Chain A
Amino acid sequence: MEHKDKLQGFILDDTKYFTLLTKKFQKRKKYQPSDYTKLRAFIPGVIQKIYVEPGQNVHKGQPLLVLEAMKMKNDVLSPIDAKVQSILVKVGDVVSKDQILIEFQI
Chain B
Amino acid sequence: MLRQLVDFFFKKKRQIDESEQIAKEKQKKQGKLTARERIERIVDPGSFHEWDMFVQQASTELGLDKKFLPRDGVITGTASIMGHPICIYAQDFSVAGGSLGLAHARKITKIMDHAIKLGIPIIGINDSGGARIQEGVNSLAGYGEIFYRNTKASGVVPQISIILGPCAGGAVYSPALTDFVFVVDKISKMFITGPEVIKTVLGEEISMEELGGARVQAEIAGNAHFFAESEEECFEQVKKLVTFIPWNNKKKADPFPPKPPKVDYKISQIIPEDPRQPYDARDVIKAIVDDSDFLEIMPHFAPNVVIGFARMNGETIGIVANQPLVLAGVLDVDSSDKAARFIRFCDAFNIPLLTLVDIPGYLPGVDQEHSGVIRHGAKILYAYSEATVPKITVIMRKAYGGGYIAMCSRHLGADFVFAWPMAEIAVMGPEGAANIIYKNEIANSPNPEETRKQKVQEYIEKFANPFVAASNGYIDAVIEPDETRKYVLHSLFISKNKMEQVLPKKHGIPPF
Contact partner of A15 (CB less than 8 A), chosen from B204, B327, B365, B431, is: B431
**Inside 8 A of A25's CB, which chain B residues have their CB?**
327, 363
Query: Digit string of B274-289 for contact with A (CB within 8 Å is 1, else 0)?
Result: 0011111000000000
Contact partner of A14 (CB less than 8 A), chosen from B203, B277, B325, B431, is: B431
Interface size on B, residues (CB 8 A): 39
Interface residue? B361 (CB, 8 A): yes
Interface residue? B297 (CB, 8 A): no
Q: B203 touching A12 by the CB < 8 A rule?
A: no
Contact partner of A97 (CB less than 8 A), chosen from B202, B278, B328, B428, is: B202
Instruction: Known contacts A13-B428, A29-B367; decide if A43 and B201 are in contact (CB<8 Å).
Output: yes
Q: B432 touching A14 by the CB < 8 A rule?
A: yes
Q: B367 touching A28 by the CB < 8 A rule?
A: yes
Q: How far is the CB of B278 from chain A (nearest CB, A)?
A: 5
Interface residue? B324 (CB, 8 A): yes
8 Å CB interface, B178-210 against A: 200-204
Q: How far is the CA of A13 from the CA of B304 in the complex (A)?
A: 18
Q: A21 touching B327 by the CB < 8 A rule?
A: yes
Q: How far is the CA of A18 from the CA of B279 in the complex (A)?
A: 10
**Inside 8 A of B363's CB, which chain A residues have their CB?**
25
Q: How far is the CB of B134 from chain A (nearest CB, A)?
A: 26
Interface residue? B310 (CB, 8 A): no
Instruction: Known contacts A19-B326, A21-B327, A43-B202; decide if A13 and B429 are in contact (CB<8 Å).
Output: yes
| Other contacts beyond A15-B432, A17-B328, A97-B204: 18, CB < 8 A | A1-B280, A3-B278, A3-B280, A12-B429, A13-B431, A13-B432, A14-B435, A15-B360, A17-B276, A18-B277, A18-B278, A22-B302, A22-B304, A22-B326, A25-B363, A31-B367, A44-B203, A70-B200
Q: Which 4 A-B pairs have the closest CB atoms?
A: A13-B432, A44-B203, A17-B328, A31-B366
8 Å CB interface, A13-64 against B: 13-25, 28-29, 31, 43-44
Q: How far is the CB of B101 from chain A (nearest CB, A)?
A: 30
Interface residue? A105 (CB, 8 A): no
22 interchain pairs (CB within 8 A)? A3-B278, A3-B280, A7-B278, A10-B327, A12-B360, A12-B364, A13-B361, A13-B433, A14-B429, A15-B429, A15-B431, A15-B432, A19-B327, A19-B328, A20-B327, A21-B326, A21-B327, A22-B302, A22-B327, A28-B365, A43-B202, A70-B201
Q: B203 touching A19 by the CB < 8 A rule?
A: no
Q: B-contacting residues of A (Cβ < 8 Å)?
A: 1, 3, 7, 10, 12-25, 28-29, 31, 43-44, 69-70, 96-97
Q: How far is the CB of B369 from chain A (nearest CB, A)?
A: 10
Contact partner of A18 (CB less than 8 A), chosen from B276, B330, B334, is: B276
Q: B303 touching A1 by the CB < 8 A rule?
A: no
Instruction: Known contacts A12-B361, A18-B276, A44-B202; decide if A24 and B328 are in contact (CB<8 Å).
Output: no
Interface residue? B296 (CB, 8 A): no
**Inside 8 A of B201's CB, which chain A residues have their CB?**
43, 69-70
**Inside 8 A of A16's CB, which chain B residues have their CB?**
276
Q: How far is the CA of A60 from the CA of B175 in the complex (A)?
A: 45
Q: How far is the CB of B463 from chain A (nearest CB, A)?
A: 14
Contact partner of B324 (CB less than 8 A), chosen from A19, A21, A44, is: A19
Q: How far is the CA of A1 from the CA of B281 in the complex (A)?
A: 12
Q: How far is the CB of B346 from chain A (nearest CB, A)?
A: 25
Q: How far is the CA of A16 from the CA of B200 in the complex (A)?
A: 46
Q: How far is the CA of A14 from the CA of B361 in the complex (A)?
A: 12
Interface residue? B219 (CB, 8 A): yes
Q: How far is the CB of A13 from chain B (nearest CB, A)?
A: 3
For A21, give the chain B residue with the smallest CB separation.
Answer: B327
Q: B328 touching A12 by the CB < 8 A rule?
A: yes
Q: How far is the CB of B266 from chain A (nearest CB, A)?
A: 15
Q: How far is the CA of A68 from the CA of B400 in the complex (A)?
A: 53
Interface residue? B118 (CB, 8 A): no
Q: How far is the CA of A19 from the CA of B360 in the complex (A)?
A: 12
Q: How far is the CA of A14 from the CA of B366 in the complex (A)?
A: 18
Interface residue? B176 (CB, 8 A): no
Interface residue? B220 (CB, 8 A): yes
Q: How far is the CA of A29 from the CA of B367 in the complex (A)?
A: 7
Contact partner of A24 (CB less than 8 A), chosen from B203, B220, B276, B364, is: B220
Query: Digit string of B312-333 for contact with A (CB within 8 Å is 1, else 0)?
Result: 0000000000001111111000
Q: How far is the CA of A13 from the CA of B219 in the complex (A)?
A: 28
Q: How far is the CA of A3 from the CA of B330 in the complex (A)?
A: 18
**Inside 8 A of A15's CB, which chain B residues have their CB?**
276, 360, 429-432
For B427, give the chain A residue with the smallest CB separation.
Answer: A13
Q: How far is the CB of A9 from chain B (nearest CB, A)?
A: 9
Q: How far is the CA of A20 from the CA of B280 in the complex (A)?
A: 11
Q: How far is the CA of A79 from the CA of B328 in the complex (A)?
A: 42
Q: How far is the CB of A31 from chain B (nearest CB, A)?
A: 4
For A94, give the chain B residue with the smallest CB separation.
Answer: B203
Q: A17 touching B360 by the CB < 8 A rule?
A: yes
Q: How far is the CA of A12 from the CA of B278 in the complex (A)?
A: 14
Q: How far is the CA of A91 from the CA of B351 in the complex (A)?
A: 65
Q: How far is the CA of A7 from the CA of B326 in the complex (A)?
A: 9
8 Å CB interface, B210-234 against A: 219-220
For A3, give the chain B residue with the smallest CB separation.
Answer: B325
Q: How far is the CB of B126 from chain A (nearest CB, A)?
A: 26
For A19, give the chain B residue with the smallest CB separation.
Answer: B328
